[in-house]
A and B are shown apart, each in its own frame.
Chain A
């Protein structure tokens, strides 16, 4: 269970996240939905600690992680795949996976984790010696996803994983995320600009606008409220 309480994030004079509270349940996928600049990425960055929150609290399974440094949060099990397909371009696929494993100090064997990654995404096994920068967009996203999940962290934050990918790859990736969350009773927080796409996989969703939660509900409630969603993006008619 991931809980965020009254979180505030500012960049200088700009308030990116204003007093957001949410909870994401284990075994479920929770979506953050909203237009550009609604505060989705800032919220995630505050949860993983890349941007320190100005005020508020973040709890993972009841433990307060607000004061931890980002690499310490990574070690207690918060994995964050940032927007813009961030990856170690000059490292090979396997070096990326080793680096993502080793410093989080997870229990278990890397060898087994690696085998699992390669059986989930065989194309990564084929390209294990290739520099990550030379992979296609879809392959990079698979690698990023594997780097975020191979050590089986309890909380995974995925910032717009579908951006710029072909529909078939998006489907494959979402299938993987669904299975990951369900299989180990883990928290997945997913941000999406494409609301219907997010609602395809998410069990619950929060709609953000101008850094605030304007609407939240389960899949059905969100689907019923698509008109409201539309106005969150496109403004009120008339």
Chain B
């Protein structure tokens, strides 16, 4: 059983096998009966739909329970374009995906403001609104009677430049479209765009710290998903030649979701398997049709518990999120970080920053300066304001009062992704890696702000995209080496020990080639050996002129590392100087141990 699964895995995950299979279907189509070819067409359309949901829900993490809405908009758009305005087939279909893109973008504006079940409910409502509109907007959609007489491949009324298209020719076109979409999707997902989608999915907070704008990323995900679903709709209209609102009910949305979830969210192969399976079952099994709702209900109810990664997980097929397997990498381990020349002006200047949370003063007027290549430690008891300061500098909170200058520019109150883009990189108290990514992919995610190529270049693997990806992969390799993680590069990070995850997070922060590195308790939970590696990484950054702020409670760890230590208590600085001075400073001892004189009180 196991070996059979492994063999299957080898076959399924091999891109060439898929292409050969599709070519074989293309060749076989003229010799098959019309019903079979038509079913293949439906399968192809379902593959597109499943990929569309997968991109939005599986990869970008935005749940959609109303995808039939996009599908319907695509179908009606192309039908209206051709029947009413005489637009030729390719243009009509292109028009469909354009419309899907536009609606996706528009929907992303309210959807981007909510999350979790609010978003789910909103997407459900979107699907129902579209359905109601189809029924009510009679002048355009034909109401409940729907649209009839759309040129259709099935009955031979569809033509392109005067040539009649049958089901077989239509299938060829559709197959071509699916291949192109899958190829582009694969390249896209393996680019920094795909990684950004996943970053937003896993933690919006962490995405911001990588320079990824969650708003822009979500809008992009919705637009792209709408584009693919619209395309599927466009093809659907000319396949069946007859549209009614009943083809676009909530159950259609559920069906698409079932295909994607059963196939495996977040995988590229999975949705194909899911789509094919759920196209064939209803056609081949009459019983399936009778109990369709029961089956879909059971699938949704149980899949996440029994088979959380779907068929793709069962066959152990994983989509990887870098182009490492497509590129010839330069083995030359380039410098992981840019060498920065020391400058006299401070890199970071914090001026009298106050942070209040509903009346509570977490920071009561903090000022400090930091130069390139210097390491500063922030210490102090629980709740003394250290993490708050790091959160204010990195843009997670906007300070109530005060200014923060970075490279001479006032960054106080800017959103976190803008600050990260400017070269401020950070880690969190609890590691916020993407658990399903490998160590290498996680670290590579840190380099996000350094990419310049656009989405189209990424999708078609333009030279520019390849050059940038190779460059960053080489840097990541060097960083993995410096962190002692070279051997774990291809391991999924979620399965690794805590210490490895922490080190990878620091390496990820360094992958952005930062000017300023903020580390929030990086040594917590590390073994001695791992702490050594961490010290090595911090020293590497320091040598390259990166300024470092580190919060930690392990004084022995900080001792050999820092140039200056600042002690906080109750949001105020109570000591600044070297480590030895701190140990004997009465104010510091009082802050930690309590005032001596209270003993007599």
Do A and B interact?
A: yes
A residues apposed to B, CB below 8 Å: 12-14, 35-37, 160, 163-164, 167, 171, 192-200, 223, 226, 229-230, 233-238
Q: Does B137 contact A (CB under 8 A)?
A: no
Measured between beta carbons, the chain B residues less than 8 angstroms from A167 are 598
Interface residues of B (CB under 8 A from A): 381-383, 497-498, 521, 524-525, 553-556, 558-559, 579-580, 582-584, 588-589, 592-596, 598-599, 601
Given the known interface contacts A193-B382, A196-B594, A236-B556, the answer about A230 and B601 at a Cβ–Cβ threshold of 8 Å is no
7 closest Cβ pairs, A-B complex: A235-B555, A194-B594, A13-B498, A196-B594, A197-B594, A235-B556, A195-B593
In the complex, what distance in Å separates the CA atom of A235 from the CA atom of B498?
24
Return chain A residues, CB-CB under 8 Å to B559: 235
Q: Is the CB of A196 within 8 A of B556?
A: no
Closest CB of chain A to B230's CB: distance in Å? 43
The CA of A197 and the CA of B592, in the complex, are separated in Å by 10
Q: Is the beta-carbon distance between B595 and A196 smaller than 8 angstroms?
A: yes
- A20 to B596 CA separation, bound complex (whole angstroms): 29
Nearest CB to that of B429 among chain A residues?
A: A37
List 8 additional A-B contacts (Cβ < 8 Å) besides A198-B594, A200-B598: A13-B498, A193-B381, A194-B593, A226-B593, A230-B593, A236-B556, A237-B580, A237-B584
Checking B383, B497, B555 against A234 with a beta-carbon cut-off of 8 angstroms, the contacting residue is: B555
Is the beta-carbon distance between B601 and A196 smaller than 8 angstroms?
no
Determine the residue in chain B with the shortest Cβ distance to A167.
B598
Q: How far is the CB of A45 from chain B (nearest CB, A)?
A: 16
User: Could you say which residues of chain A place their CB within 8 Å of the CB of B580?
Assistant: 237-238
Most buried by B among A36, A164, A234, A235: A234
Given contacts A171-B601, A234-B583, A238-B580, contact A195 B594 (CB under 8 A): yes
Majority SS at the chain B contact face: helix
Cα-based distance from A83 to B525 in the complex (angstroms)? 21
Q: How far is the CA of A192 from the CA of B382 in the complex (A)?
A: 11
B593: chain A residues at CB < 8 Å are 194-196, 226, 229-230, 233
Q: Which residue of A lies closest to B580 (CB)?
A: A237
Report chain B residues within 8 Å CB of A196: 593-596, 598-599
B382 engages A36 (CB within 8 Å): yes
What's the nearest-Cβ distance from chain A to residue B386, in Å?
10
| A–B pairs, 8, beta carbons within 8 Å | A14-B498, A14-B525, A37-B553, A160-B382, A192-B594, A230-B589, A233-B555, A235-B579
* Min CB gap A94→B, angstroms: 25
CA distance A12 to B499 in the complex (A): 12
Cβ contacts under 8 Å, B584 to chain A: 237
Quick one: given A12-B498, A14-B498, A35-B592, are A235 and B598 in contact (CB under 8 Å)? Answer: no
User: Is the Cβ of A234 less than 8 Å from the Cβ of B582?
Assistant: yes
Most buried by A among B382, B554, B601: B382
Nearest A-chain residue to B589, judged by Cβ: A230
CA distance A159 to B592 in the complex (A): 16
Note all chain A residues with C-beta closer than 8 A to B596.
Answer: 196
Measured between beta carbons, the chain B residues less than 8 angstroms from A200 are: 598-599, 601
Report Cα–Cα, A199/B595, bound state, in Å.
11
The CA-CA distance from A20 to B399 in the complex, in Å, is: 42
CA of A163 to CA of B559, assembled, Å? 28
Task: Kindly list chain A residues whose C-beta atoms are within 8 Å of the C-beta of B558.
Answer: 235
Whether the Cβ atoms of B382 and A163 lie closer than 8 Å is yes
Cβ of B594: which chain A residues have Cβ within 8 Å of it? Answer: 192, 194-198
Query: What is the distance, in angstroms, from A217's C-beta to the closest C-beta of chain B?
Result: 16
Whether A37 contacts B592 by the Cβ 8 Å rule is no
Q: How far is the CA of A197 from the CA of B584 in the complex (A)?
A: 19
With A12-B498, A14-B525, A36-B381 as contacts: A234 and B598 at CB distance below 8 Å: no
The answer to whether A163 and B383 have CB atoms under 8 Å apart is yes
Whether A235 touches B382, Cβ cut-off 8 Å, given contacts A200-B598, A229-B593, is no
Query: When chains A and B are docked, how far (Å) is the Cα of A237 from the Cα of B598?
Result: 25
Q: Which of B524, B555, B588 contacts A37 (CB 8 A)?
A: B524
Of A164, A230, A235, A236, which contacts B383 at CB under 8 A? Answer: A164
Min distance, Cβ B85 to any Cβ of chain A, angstroms:
59
Query: Which residues of chain B come closer than 8 Å to A198, judged between CB atoms?
Result: 594
CA distance A196 to B583 in the complex (A): 17
Shortest Cβ distance from residue B361 to the other chain A in the assembled complex, whole angstroms: 11
